[in-house]
Amino acid sequence: MTGTPLLRIERLSARVHGTDLRLLQDIDLTVSAGSVVAVVGPSGSGKTTLGLAALAAARAGIRLDGQVLLEGTDLLPLPEPRRRALRAGTAGHLPQHPEIVLDPIRRIGSTLGELAALQHRARPARAAAVDAALASAGLPEPALARRLPHQLSGGQQQRAALASALVTGARLLVLDEPTSGLDPITATALGHRLRALVAGGTGILLLSHDLPFTRMLAAQVAVLEQGRIVRQGPAAQVLGGPRATAAHGMPNAGAEPAAARGDGVQAIAVAVRRRTGTSPLPGPVTMSFPPGSRTALIGPSGAGKTTFGRLLAGLVPSGSGRLAHNGVRLPARIQRRNPAQRRTVQYVHQNSADSFEGHRPLLGQIAAAGRLLRGMSAQDAEAEAHVIATRLGLDDDQLARTPGRLSGGQLQRCALVRALMARPALLVCDEATSALDALARERVLGALPDLLAPSATALLFITHDLAAVREIAHTVAVFDAGRCVQHAPTAEFFRSPAPGAPTLLVRSANAHSDA
């Protein structure tokens, strides 16, 4: 049963200061105690801007108008110190990129303890609040609180950021893509934990591309398009009707992937040197990526998938083993690879915003891969970047912007364009569709095979998107606790998981594809 309004948004608009460009227009939303209101919509529709605006916050250069009432008090007219005081202990925010709230040089427990001190003066009470927040976010292991953010997987970072929103006992949670780094089993468990919080009176504003998760959690759904709410109502009606199908573009099954051929990049018995306090790391792993092959790498959050992808790209040092391209050894560290070797393996980061310089327009940064790694002229590189970007649904105006003016999904596609500009032997995509709405995701998955074909680029697709595995992969590798426990053709993987594979994950994969 829902209670009194925690958050009421009335006639809220957001525009770029000094221009007529409106990012949000005339938004009306109410989140009551014990309820979940979800906002869905395409990448770039304004969801992240709305999530910040719901707390009377905005990125630099954006002006908010209207009313944002937190427990009856309009935050917009107040000075920022007063806003912070009213939000403390009342409203918690999980941003799309968890590194925003996780201090890179402080241990997770220390960061959470400082936030807990806003509500608890006694040290035992603060420690209990930290433990409870980590458990509610799905990180109950005590050792995780002693780690630095970079020692956690992407999914674990997401849950640690969620714990930072929970540790103050906030009555209102604004959650921006809370499942983007999570495998389906972890996402489902998170949904159950959030349901328990809602049953206890917490209100949630959920911003998400994850429609199964939205259906599981939300009673009311609003569809946001180009900064406007175009439909709002009960979740069953909004997500189940014809407009939802068109608006969100639930993907269709793709054609059978073309057969792989040749040799390519090999990782031979590679392992990462283990350090005390780190999460499970892969090793030893032997895997080959022939030209034109497409391999999906799946497994629970924290299984070592990202570490393996970064190892291939030379971003983390190997403790043993050998990387090779067509039989020629690749240096383990990217700093020791020459331009041709750097071109061999391209890596699309899980958090794409971190891979761009914030003050430079994106087109120049993307085209630089063609200039520096393929010797193209600036004009030719920009022309090719435009062609690839258009295939992935980006336009000239977006490419002319700086990174801070694009959504997470748009930045993911920009990072993918930049990697494709290098025409690598192996493209490693680490959750490269996690911030995309379903239409953009379908477009990217549909275009990738054609974009990889001219240079016979092999693909390693690290993902929790189990429907995408069926669509794009020739083979599936399963990581669990830092080791590869299965490597099989896609059809065989879904039909018969190997002994020792995480069977819950495989069952979830089959259930997801049958839905």
Say if residue 425's pLDDT is above 90: yes
The CATH architecture annotation of domain 5-248 reads 3-Layer(aba) Sandwich (3.40)
List the CATH code of the domain at 265-351+424-514: 3.40.50.300
DSSP 228-268: EEEEEEEHHHHHHSHHHHHHHTPPPP-PPPPPP-S--EEEE
- CA-wise closest residue to 120 among 107, 129, 109, 110: 129
Domain extents for the chain? 5-248, 265-351+424-514
Supply the pLDDT for residue 514. 44
Report pTM. Answer: 0.63
Between 511 and 349, residue with greater pLDDT = 349
Give the 3-state secondary structure of 280-333. Answer: CCCCCEEEEECCCCEEEEECCCCCCHHHHHHHHCCCCCCCEEEEEECCEEECCC
Question: 163: which 2 tokens?
Answer: 């714990």
**pLDDT tens sequence across 349-369:** 877 877 898 889 999 999 999
**Alpha-helix runs per DSSP H in 101-252:** 108-116, 123-137, 154-166, 184-199, 211-217, 235-240, 242-248
Is the sign of the CA dihedral 438, 443, 446, 452 positive or negative? negative
- CA-wise closest residue to 427 among 449, 401, 405, 408: 449
Task: Using DSSP bridges, classify how beta strands 220-225 and 62-70 pair: parallel, antiparallel or unpaired.
Answer: unpaired
b vs e for 36-46, b when ≥16 Cβ sit within 10 Å of the residue's Cβ? bbbbbbbbbbb
**pLDDT tens sequence across 123-181:** 888 888 888 888 888 887 877 888 888 888 777 888 888 888 888 888 999 999 888 76
Contact predicate 386/414, CB 8 Å: no
Phi, psi of 455 (to 5 degrees): -105, 10
Is the sign of the CA dihedral 183, 184, 187, 188 positive or negative? negative
User: Average pLDDT in the 96-112 region?
Assistant: 83
User: Average pLDDT in the 388-417 region?
Assistant: 91
Judged by DSSP in three states, 191 sits in helix
- CA-wise closest residue to 401 among 65, 52, 23, 7: 23
Judged by DSSP in three states, 190 sits in helix
The type of residue at 98 is P
**pLDDT tens sequence across 304-334:** 888 899 999 998 877 778 899 988 899 989 9
Q: What residues does 477 pair with on adjacent strands?
A: 297, 487
